[in-house]
Structure 1
C-alpha cells in the first residue's frame, strides 16, 4: 500500500518519531520521513524503518520521491491534509491518483499490539495514581476552592509535577456544572455535600489514559465506585450509571458492533426512566490519540475485535441540577472486556 501522513500520532506510529513539520511516505516496502533541518538530528537517532530526508520544502521533496518511483496511486486521510495542498500536489503530479481514505491511520491502529496494550495499561495505572493524588489534595485543602483552582490542582496531580503530559484538558465540575459533559471551570467553590465530577488522563510514552469519576464530597473523600449522595434523585441516577457501566463491561463481547455495546449501557438507563438524559456515546477508542476507533455509539458499525481498547463511559445529565459519568478503559481479550 502506498500512503502519506502528516499527523503527529500517525507519524509516530509508523516510525517511532514525529515533529510538527514532517511528512511520512510509504511506497510498498520503502518509507521516508521528510522533515526540516530543525529535526533531522533527532529524527536520524529515533526514526525506525524509514529514510530520513532533510528538506526546506517538504512538498517538493515528496514530489521528487514520488516521481522517481513512478507512483500511480497514493492514499491519504483528508482529515490530515487540506484540499489546497492536495490540489497543488495533483496539479504537479499528473497521472498520480490521490485516494481519500478517512481515518487511514486510525484504521491501521485500531487493533493494538501487545506492547501497545502494555503501555496503555501503564498509562491507566498512572492515571489512577493521579486521581488518588488529587483526592488527597481535595481532602486536605480542596474545600472552599473554586473549580478553576481545582482544575489547576488536578492538572498538577495528573502530570506528576511535570513527569507526564496530559491526554486532554481535565474536566473538574461541581454540582450543576457537571450537567455539561464537557464543562469548563468556573468560580463555583467546593462545599461539603457537593457532587464533584472529574474526567482526566495522562500520556505514558505517548499513549493516553482516560478516566472519569463522580463523587460525593463528604467527611472522607475517594474516587471509588461506592458513593453515597444526600439526594435520592442523585443517588438513583448514580446507581443507574454505575449499573450501565458495569453491565456494558460484563456483557461486551468480541464480534459485537460498537452500536451493540452502546446498547448494553443505554438500555439500563432507559429502563431506569432516564434515557433522555444519556446524551452522548458510551465510549471511544483510546491509543496515541485520546479519541480513536472504534466508536461505541448508536451508529458504531465497527465490529469489535480482541486487541481493541476503548472506554465505557455512560452518563446522566440533568441541566441546572447535576451530571454523573463513570468511565474506565477496557481492552478486549479472549472475547471479553478487561478493565485496564
Structure 2
C-alpha cells in the first residue's frame, strides 16, 4: 500500500521519530520523512529506515516526491488532514484514497516488544498510584484542584515521565461525571474518591482507575468499604462486572459481546442505565486507539490486542464509580497487565 501520514504517533510507529511539523510517505520500497530545518538534524540521527527531506513547504515537497515516483494512487487517513492540508495535497491530481484509521489498523496487534513497553508503563503507573495514595493520607481539606496538581507531580515523578492524559481526581458527586474537571470541592472524611490516571513509558501509554473510600486512611485496592450503603451496592456491582468481563474476554469474540457481559450485570441491578460509556478502548502510542470495546463494534478480538476494561456506574448529583485495568489477549484469554 502507498500511503501518506501526518499524525505524530503514526509517523513515530513507522520510523522511530516524529515532531510537530512532518509528513511521512511510503511507497514501493521508498520511505520519506519530510520536515523543516528545525528538526532535520535530530531526524537524521534517529531515523534509519527513511530518507529525511528538509523543506520549507512540506506539501510542495511531498507533491514533488510523489510526482517523480510515478505513483498514481495513495491512501491517507482523513482524520489526520485538515481541509486546508488536503487541498495542498490534492493539487497533485492522482487517485487519493481514504483509509480511515489507517495507522490504528496497522498497530492494533501489538508486538511482544510493544507489549513489554506497555507493561512497564502500567507497572510504573501502579507504583505512582501507591506513592500518591500515601500522600492523600495527609490531604484532608485540600481541593480537587490542588489534588489534581499534586497528582500530576507524583505521577510524572516530578517531571521524569510524561502523562498519558490529564488525570481525573473527583470527589462524591463530581465523580458522577466520567471526565470530571477539578473543582474547589474539598476532600473530607467519608468521601468517595475516583482517581483515573496514566503515564507514558518510551511513548507507550497506561491507563488505570480506582474508586476508594476516604476515611481514617485511604487505599487503592479493589476491596473497598463505604459508609453509604447505596454506594457500596454500586461499587460491588461494578467490581463484579469488571471481574466477569476480564474472565469472559476471549480471542475470537466480538468487541460488542464483551461490552455486553459487563453491561448486562449492571443493567440487571438497581443501577440499570447508569453505565454511560463503553467498556474499554485500545491503548498503545495513543491513549485511545483500536480496538474499541463498545456495544456497536463488530470487530473480532485477537491475541496481541491491548485494551482497558472499565465498567462504571454514575448517579448524577450523588456519586460515580469506575474500576479500570489494562489487559492483553494472550493464548486466547485476557492477561491483566
TM-score, structure 2 as length reference: 0.99
Q: How does 1:93-112 map to 2 (within 5 A)?
A: 93-94=92-93, 96-112=94-110
DSSP 3-state at the match of 1:142:
coil
Say which is worse superposed, 269-278 or 176-185, in terms of deviation.
269-278
Q: 1:207 aligns with which of 204, 214, 225?
A: 204
Cα distance, 1:218 vs structure 2: 1.6
Structure 2 CA distance, aligned partners of 1:102 and 1:271?
36
Q: How does 1:23-102 map to 2 (within 5 A)?
A: 23-90=23-90, 92-94=91-93, 96-102=94-100
Aligned position for 1:135: 133
Q: 2:304 aligns with which of 303, 307, 314?
A: 307
Aligned position for 2:123: 125
String of CA shifts for 1:217-262, please: whole Å, max 9, x gaps: 1223110001000011000000000000010001110011110110
Q: CA RMSD in A?
A: 0.8
Structure 2 CA distance, aligned partners of 1:174 and 1:156?
19
Judge conservation of contact 2:156–2:199 (CA < 8 Å) in 1: yes
Structure 2 CA distance, aligned partners of 1:117 and 1:272?
36
String of CA shifts for 1:32-79, please: whole Å, max 9, x gaps: 000000001100011131111111111111011101101111000001
| 1:294 pairs with 2:291 | yes
Cα distance, 1:161 vs structure 2: 1.1
Judge conservation of contact 2:196–2:209 (CA < 8 Å) in 1: yes
Cα distance, 1:143 vs structure 2: 0.7
In structure 2, list runs of 5 or more residues that go unmatched.
none
Cα distance, 1:183 vs structure 2: 0.4
Judge conservation of contact 2:59–2:88 (CA < 8 Å) in 1: no
TM-score, structure 1 as length reference: 0.98
Cα distance, 1:28 vs structure 2: 2.2
Q: 2:318 aligns with which of 313, 317, 321?
A: 321
Aligned position for 2:214: 217
Cα distance, 1:87 vs structure 2: 2.6
Judge conservation of contact 2:279–2:294 (CA < 8 Å) in 1: yes
Aligned position for 1:115: 113
Structure 1 CA distance, aligned partners of 2:281 and 2:272?
20
Structure 2 CA distance, aligned partners of 1:93 and 1:217?
61
DSSP 3-state at the match of 2:218:
coil
Structure 2 CA distance, aligned partners of 1:13 and 1:85?
21
Aligned position for 2:13: 13
DSSP 3-state at the match of 2:106:
helix
